[in-house]
Structure 1
Amino acid sequence: MGHIEKSLILIKPDAVERHVTGKIIDIYESNGLRLIALKMIKVDEELAKTHYAEHSGKIFFDELIRYITRSPLIAAIVEGQNAIEKVRKLNGNTNPEMAEYGTIRKKFGVNKTENSVHSSDCGENAEKEISLWFPEIEQI
């Protein structure tokens, strides 16, 4: 048995624009993850730059910021056994062309930037991302 973890999930603008958010949420819930927080927001540039700070200065940074701020997205917190690893497996490779069949990015991703979802990659980042995207929630 693994341990109960929380992970941040973003259902990015491309997926919201194409009306596939319910299908994506269903995949997480059907795989034993429980939604414990959910909101739709239009991301401002400050939040986007803070979230993607590790990519600052890279050639694709400005494109990434324009993309994530162009229209609303869904931010969610899920909880479950080994949630971080489970979500990442469900999401698949960052590049939809390289993602395994059946993963969210293979089914819904458009390209490496418009890849429909983001999730925390480790426990430390999950804590940081949850507090960044859900500052109104006491650590749950």
Structure 2
Amino acid sequence: MERTLVILKPCTIQRGLIGEIISRFEKKGLRLVGAKMIWLTDEILKEHYAHLLDKPFFGRIKDAMEVCPVIVCCWEGVDAVQVVRTISGPTNGRIAQPGTIRGDYSMSIQENMVHASDSIETAKIELNRFFDPSEIFDYKRLCFSSLYAIDEV
């Protein structure tokens, strides 16, 4: 089973769409194994967006991500990274297909509702950045046998 990080961005919190966004991942069959609300600090944002530090728009991203707390989530499932990215849609909400989170709720490249890890390797790094091991839970999901064929897990 893969695990991946999703951050519900300040635009999601401000628009009151927390439950709607989380329910998309739940309805798909992903298992929420960690979640918490946090304020992102300058230090965390510089680490998380290190690949964008030298871009002229980094300050705008940083300011937008500090408007209010965010909710960081750890989702688990078969091919969780790709499943989450498919549900989220492309970064630019204006071109995201209807039915995706960004296609339904975003008109922006920046204010695009969620951050989703882009690879298994990145997910591991990002999950370690935002969660202590004691904050990730393993529990039995009673509907598990209805989500996957026995040879898929």
Normalising by the residue count of structure 1, what TM-score does the alignment of the two structures yield?
0.93
Q: Quick one: which of 125, 130, 137 aligns to 1:128?
A: 125
Corresponding residue to 2:76 among 75, 79, 82: 79
Counterpart position of 1:22: 19
Report the Cα offset of residue 69 of structure 1.
1.3
Q: Partners in 2 of 1:78 and 1:98 — Cα distance?
A: 25
Shift of 1:70: 1.5
Q: Any stretches of 5+ residues in structure 1 without a counterpart?
A: none
Corresponding letter in the other structure for 2:123: A
For 2:135 and 2:13, locate their aligned partners in 1 and report how far apart those are by CA, in whole Å. Answer: 27
Q: CA, structure 1 residues 5+109, in 2 after alignment: closer, same or farther (shift >3 Å)?
A: same
2:133 counterpart residue number: 137
Task: Give me the whole-angstrom Cα distance separating, in 1, the residues matched to 2:89 and 2:127.
Answer: 21
Note the C-alpha offset of 1:18. Answer: 0.7
CA distance in structure 1 between the aligned counterparts of 2:28 and 2:58, rounded to whole angstroms: 32
The structure with more radius of gyration? 2
Quote the sequence identity (%): 37
Describe how 1:102-113 pairs up with structure 2 within 5 A.
Answer: 102-113=99-110
Aligned residues: 136
Structure 2 unaligned segments of length 5 or more: list them: 137-153
Query: Does the 8 A contact of 1:131 with 1:139 survive in 2?
Result: no
Give me the CA root mean square deviation.
1.2
Kindly indicate whether the alpha-carbon contact (under 8 Å) linking 2:34 and 2:135 is maintained by their aligned counterparts in 1: no
Matched, 1:93 2:90: yes
Listed as ranges, the matches of 1:2-81 within 5 Å are: 4-81=1-78
